[in-house]
């Protein structure tokens, strides 16, 4: 009998997408072939403290999270330097990490750094690609350098915000602007603004989530198109999907993504002119390579009234909730949910093996020889 792969499934986190992560983790856990994988659960609390399998399983089974976390904290010495990750010490062995942590900790390179220190393979992009793709400002800089079309923007910070009145932004970007925290996901902190009053309120809210905020040129009622990417050095793309929000909703926000999607129409696969499908696919695969992503990504596009596509943003650990399009786009492209999980794990193992071939040379310096120092007046 083949030995099972011992997988640690990590979810939760101290981000605005904590509950989204819990939903995604549930679906991934249910889809994992238990004849192939021995799965342990580890949830990061909203404080960023990792709970062990027993406590995480209680939350998975529906017990009130706050009560379970309180019980766990009573048994933990939170003053110890490794308290946030001490729960991993309960594992006798782990072969593979499967992070399902959306937002900071999971998509900003933090958890990937932990996996690298632990010398273990994992699902998804590495440290630098995760950090780069999570930061909307840095992503746009890389896309612009590579000639990949995206919407114009201005970067706002607490230090320069006084220089950018609504009038100045309107002159540079037009009278429809989206305010976005640079390092948040799931539309958290995003506002559609059309006047000075809305701009001031949006900026105040966005700075709660990040000290880097984008003021991005808006497109009027664009089509929202998504594509799933799978692979390492030779990525492949799924068929395209579309998100149609109700006319009464200004854009695809957190509420209709996760709270109430009853009015949203998901078109799978979406029917677009072939030239437009080809252009979006080519842009997505190019961006995937340019940003150095591995394993998986969902890449979002906005298409204007002239059928011109703009790359909106990549998602290195996309949602796997019941309404998330990443797995659904692969489903209509011929890859089932459980097969997709298998492929993601295989890609993580392959990337780890590839990186293990990189060598480091260490030279002993011996006695230090210092040259003459000359100080000038």
Structure tokens at 34: 């238990």
Listed range (16-25, 41-50, 220-229, 256-265) with the worst mean pLDDT: 256-265
Confidence of residue 339 (pLDDT cuts 50, 70, 90): very high
The residue-averaged pLDDT of 241-269 equals: 71
Residue 263: its pLDDT value, please?
A: 79
CA gap 164, 162 in Å, rounded: 5
What's the pLDDT score for residue 365? 83
Give me the mean pLDDT over the 49-63 stretch.
96
Shortest CA distance to 178 belongs to which of 159, 152, 145, 147?
152
How many alpha carbons lie under 13 Å from residue 140 in its C-beta half-sphere?
A: 18
179: closest CA among 133, 143, 218, 141? 218
The whole-number average pLDDT for the span 137-154 is: 98
Reported confidence tier of residue 351, pLDDT bands at 50, 70, 90: very high
Please tell me the distance from the alpha carbon of residue 252 to that of residue 232, in angstroms, as a whole number. 29
Mean pLDDT of the 42-67 span: 96
Average pLDDT over residues 162-183: 96
Asked if residue 337 has pLDDT above 70, the reply is yes
Q: Mean pLDDT throughout 99-119?
A: 95
Percent of the chain surpassing pLDDT 90: 84
**Residue 210 CB contacts under 8 Å (≥ 6 apart), including other chains:** 181, 182, 183, 184, 189
Q: How confident is the model at residue 258 (pLDDT cuts 50, 70, 90)?
A: very low
Mean pLDDT score of the chain:
93
Q: So what's the pLDDT on residue 256?
A: 47
Domains of the chain: residue spans and CATH: 5-123 (3.40.50.20), 152-217 (3.30.1490.20), 223-335 (3.30.470.20)
Question: Which residues touch 129 (CB under 8 Å, ≥6 apart)?
Answer: 291, 292, 293, 294, 316
Q: Is the pLDDT of residue 184 over 90?
A: no
Smallest Cα–Cα separation from 209: which of 108, 112, 334, 66? 108
Q: Which pLDDT band holds residue 16 (cuts at 50, 70, 90)?
A: confident
């Amino acid at each position: 009998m083949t030995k099972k792969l011992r997988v640690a499934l990590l979810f939760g986190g101290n981000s605005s997408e904590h509950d989204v992560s819990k939903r995604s983790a549930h679906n991934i856990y249910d889809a994992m072939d238990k004849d192939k994988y021995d799965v342990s659960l580890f949830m990061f609390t909203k404080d960023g403290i990792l709970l062990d399998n027993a406590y995480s399983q209680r939350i998975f089974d529906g017990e009130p999270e706050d009560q379970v976390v309180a019980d766990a904290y009573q048994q933990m010495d939170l003053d110890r330097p490794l308290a946030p990750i001490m729960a991993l010490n309960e594992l006798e062995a782990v072969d593979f990490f499967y992070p399902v942590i959306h937002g900071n900790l999971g998509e900003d390179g933090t958890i990937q750094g932990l996996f690298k220190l632990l010398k273990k393979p994992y699902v998804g992009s590495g440290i630098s690609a995760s950090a780069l793709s999570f930061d909307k400002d840095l992503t746009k800089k890389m896309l612009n350098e590579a000639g990949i079309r995206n919407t114009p923007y201005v970067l706002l910070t607490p230090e320069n915000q006084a220089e950018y009145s609504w009038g100045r932004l309107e002159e540079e970007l037009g009278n429809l602007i989206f305010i976005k925290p640079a390092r948040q996901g799931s539309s958290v902190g995003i506002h559609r603004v059309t006047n000075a009053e809305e701009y001031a309120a949006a900026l105040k809210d966005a700075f709660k989530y990040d000290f880097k905020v984008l003021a991005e040129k808006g497109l009027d009622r664009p089509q929202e198109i998504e594509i799933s990417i799978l692979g390492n050095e030779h990525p492949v793309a799924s068929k395209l999907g579309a998100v149609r929000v109700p006319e009464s909703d200004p854009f695809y926000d957190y509420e209709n993504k996760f709270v109430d999607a009853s009015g949203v129409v998901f078109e799978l696969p979406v029917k677009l002119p072939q030239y437009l499908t080809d252009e979006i696919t080519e842009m997505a695969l190019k961006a995937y390579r340019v940003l150095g992503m591995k394993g998986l990504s969902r890449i979002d596009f906005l298409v204007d009234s002239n059928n011109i596509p703009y790359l909106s943003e990549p998602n290195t650990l996309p949602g796997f909730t019941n309404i998330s399009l990443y797995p659904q786009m692969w489903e209509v492209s011929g890859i089932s949910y459980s097969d997709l999980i298998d492929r993601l794990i295989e890609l993580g193992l392959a990337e780890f093996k590839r990186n293990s071939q990189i060598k480091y040379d260490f030279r002993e310096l011996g006695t230090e020889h210092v040259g003459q120092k000359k100080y000038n007046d």
